[in-house]
Amino acid sequence: MNIKGRHFLTLLDYKTEELKEIIDLAIDMKSGKIVKNLPNKTLGMLFQKPSTRTRISFEVGMTQLGGHAIYLDFRTTQLGRGETISDTSKVLSRYCDILMARLYKQTDLVELANASSIPVINALTDLYHPCQTMADMMTVIEKRGKIKGLKVAFLGDCGFNMCNSTIIGFSKLGADVVAVCPDKDVYTPNPEILNAAKKQAAGNITVEHDPIRGVMNADIIYTDTWVSMGQEDAEQRIKDLRPYQVNEKLVSHASKDVLVMHCLPAHRGQEITDDVIDGPHSIVFDEAENRLHVQKAIMVSLMGV
């Protein structure tokens, strides 16, 4: 695999084998079988949205690789005073060796990448969260040894970044992915992204509105927050999505050894209950840990190490 110099903006941009090789590298680096280093390299971390896991995992990862990470906030840089994303990108490319950005809009990320002469990693936008899905797939492979042939049910709001990347990534690696959501356009997968994912999928991708049918015999149940930052219709969303809560009763309809996933932060008592997220089926904190390992593998791969 040679992906040196490429951007990592969406899993649609990568072949199945390339994704598998990054995950295999992450597993080997985690176990210590393979040692990679980025001495004296600098990661620029550009944040428009707040973060816990993204900032810490990237910063710790770069430190462990022997490099350095710089935190950049829109509000405390010239971006907050009107400098264009393009100009900022051109300048950061002169200082840093690689960039990651957590932005509201995918279009802004594309602008950043188009102006950059160094690799840019998508650390979350409105449309995609590829690093999280890479960590999720790595975790499932660790727990089950494979992804091909598994059934993945994503419950709740399926019209945003986390469901998009889950559909793309897991179906590319051969899983059957079911988006389980209310029958309202706001909660259903983006048609354009859904069609693009289906063209690349090795597994089936379907949409289901009945939560019990959706999780029936599922090997993986995935959920995420119902109300994201900036969404003002919280009360209505919670009412619409209540039947899709991941609780013990719903989990009982899945495979007996089903794995339950959540990218965090969790709103306990809304999209998931305490007894599930803290229960025997949960691998939530394993996937959170694996953000560190898979992002290290992505960085060294993009930098050709």
Q: Are 244 and 180 in contact (CB under 8 A)?
A: yes
> Which one is catalytic: 240, 291, 293, 295?
291
> Which one is catalytic: 7, 53, 102, 237?
102
> Which one is catalytic: 263, 281, 293, 295?
263
Per-residue tokens: 247: 């609780």
Nearest 10 degrees: CA dihedral of 215, 221, 227, 231?
A: -80
Q: For this structure, is 263 an active site residue?
A: yes
Q: For this structure, is 291 an active site residue?
A: yes
> Which one is catalytic: 129, 237, 262, 281?
129
* 298 to 135, 145, 161, 193, 263: CA distances (angstroms): 11, 21, 19, 23, 18
Of 120, 130, 131, whose CA–CA distance to 97 is shortest? 120
Q: For this structure, is 209 an active site residue?
A: no
Q: For this structure, is 231 an active site residue?
A: no
Residues 6+ apart with CB under 8 A from 86: 111, 112, 114, 115
CA 132 – CA 290 distance, rounded (Å): 9
Q: For this structure, is 132 an active site residue?
A: yes
Q: Give me the sheet containing 176-180, strands edge to edge.
A: 205-208, 176-180, 151-155, 220-223, 259-262
> Which one is catalytic: 106, 224, 240, 281?
224
> Which one is catalytic: 7, 96, 126, 132?
132
Residues designated catalytic: 102, 129, 132, 224, 263, 291
